[in-house]
């Protein structure tokens, strides 16, 4: 009793024995997001990341079928480049945008935009329409690619962060690798439009 009074009178901080030993797993922000909510969030982030990375390479092998159907070989490169240009240009902007309206609204906006403009690409009737829709698809895809990095860093514990970061890189590499194979298979077996409509 006298020891506690001496600590209080001296101005030294008094630490409760029940809170002094806090497990390391609860010292990070993942305490607010655990269990099935944590894993469902991770699954959603990785699926979105996979689809965006897949979109970067799936069109390359279907490009001949696309330009042949739309009868415009002159602008074939822009069908690919329009996505890359807007995607790379909006990567950082999505992170800043999420600071303003929040992570979840930003991610949902990016996901909705990616689905909508993927469907629009699949329904395009001219190369001009496809290029414009691909540009907007790239804007939305930038959000689905950059926001998972921010969200994972905020929800995963420091000890587990390298594991989840490595998994993001692995998912991206797999998507890059199988994209041309899937695109070629779709273009040869059915219509090229399914390369977009599958999203």
Q: Which residues contact 194 (CB under 8 A, 6 or more apart)?
A: 122, 186
Secondary structure percentages of the chain, helix, strand, coil, to 5:
80, 0, 20
CA 45, CA 39: separation in Å to the nearest integer? 10
Which residue, among 142, 147, 141, 137, has the nearest Cα to 107 in the 3D structure?
A: 147
Q: Can you list the domains of the chain with their CATH numbers? A: 39-197 (1.20.1250.20)
Q: Is the pLDDT of residue 155 over 80?
A: yes
**Cα gap 112→134, rounded to integer Å:** 15
Decide if 106 contacts 142 (C-beta within 8 A).
Answer: no
3-state secondary structure 138-149: HHHHHHHHHHHH
Write down the pLDDT at residue 8. Answer: 45
Q: Strand, helix or coil at 191?
A: coil
What's residue 11's pLDDT? 52
Query: Which tokens in the block code for residue 155?
Result: 């929800």
Res 15: pLDDT: 46
The predicted structure's pLDDT at residue 80: 92
Q: Per-residue pLDDT for 152 more than 80? A: yes
pLDDT tens by residue, 48-99: 999 999 998 999 899 999 999 999 888 899 999 999 999 999 999 999 999 9
Inter-residue contact 50 to 198 (CB < 8 Å)? no
């Amino acid at each position: 009793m006298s020891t506690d009074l001496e600590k209080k009178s001296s101005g030294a901080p008094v630490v409760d024995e029940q809170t002094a030993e806090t497990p390391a797993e609860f010292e990070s922000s993942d305490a607010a997001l655990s269990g099935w909510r944590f894993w469902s969030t991770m699954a959603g982030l990785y699926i979105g990341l996979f689809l965006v990375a897949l979109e970067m390479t799936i069109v390359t092998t279907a490009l001949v079928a696309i330009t042949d159907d739309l009868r415009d070989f002159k602008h074939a490169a822009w069908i690919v480049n329009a996505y890359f240009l807007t995607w790379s240009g909006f990567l950082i902007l999505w992170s800043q945008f999420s600071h303003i309206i929040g992570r979840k609204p930003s991610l949902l906006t990016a996901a909705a935009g990616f689905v909508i403009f993927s469907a629009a690409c699949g329904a395009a009737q001219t190369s001009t329409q496809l290029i414009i829709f691909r540009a907007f698809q790239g804007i939305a895809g930038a959000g689905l690619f950059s926001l998972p990095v921010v969200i994972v860093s905020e929800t995963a514990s420091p000890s587990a962060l390298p594991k989840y970061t490595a998994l993001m890189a692995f998912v991206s590499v797999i998507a890059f690798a199988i994209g041309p194979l899937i695109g070629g298979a779709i273009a040869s077996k059915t219509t090229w439009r399914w390369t977009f409509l599958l999203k």
